[in-house]
């Protein structure tokens, strides 16, 4: 199978299902998922409050929701320690670790962010020609 055929969708597939990576993107790149997985991959096991401090712009409610979803998806492992007071820790699972090459590739690609910003500035600086808009 060539790269061209890997990207080709069968003609009878619904448009929303035509992209084979769409479900992966929905799971991995949902808002807050990437920062949570990044922190757990880079810095190891964390308690809830430690994650909250590292990702300072996330609300406790959203962090709880995302951690539950990541646990459900098998990307994060939650460990409950029956102590007084109880302690709960989160760590990235083996399945979550398998995303490391994806994150590494994205980190490598991030050198292009300056070009993206310049393209945006160039686009925004253009004056519309007549009433034609695209």
Could you state, in order of their start, the residue ranges of all structural domains in the chain?
Answer: 11-98
Q: Which pLDDT tens digit goes with each residue over 78-130? A: 999 999 989 999 999 999 999 999 989 999 999 999 999 999 999 999 876 65
Which of 62, 33, 69, 36 is closest to 50 using CA atoms? 36
pTM, entire model: 0.74
Q: In what order do the strands lie in the sheet with 87-92?
A: 46-47, 87-92, 76-81
Residue indicated by tokens 């994150």 = 103
With beta carbons less than 8 A apart as the criterion, state whether 58 and 46 touch: no
Residue-wise pLDDT tens digits, 3-18: 555 555 566 667 667 7
**Residue 38 and residue 57: Cα distance in Å, rounded?**
15
Residues ≥6 apart with Cβ < 8 Å to 126: none
| Assigned fold of 11-98 | Arc Repressor Mutant, subunit A (1.10.10)
């Amino acid at each position: 199978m060539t790269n061209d055929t890997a990207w080709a969708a069968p003609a009878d597939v619904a448009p929303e299902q035509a992209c084979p990576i769409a479900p992966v993107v929905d799971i991995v790149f949902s808002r807050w998922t990437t920062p949570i997985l990044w922190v757990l991959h880079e810095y190891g096991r964390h308690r809830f409050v430690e994650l909250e401090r590292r990702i300072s712009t996330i609300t406790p409610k959203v962090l709880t929701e995302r951690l539950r979803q990541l646990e459900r998806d098998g990307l994060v492992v939650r460990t409950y320690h029956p102590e007084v007071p109880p302690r709960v820790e989160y760590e990235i699972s083996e399945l979550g670790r398998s995303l490391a090459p994806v994150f590494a590739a994205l980190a490598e690609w991030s050198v292009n962010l300056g070009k993206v910003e310049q393209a945006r500035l160039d686009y925004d600086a253009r004056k519309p020609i007549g009433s034609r808009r695209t």
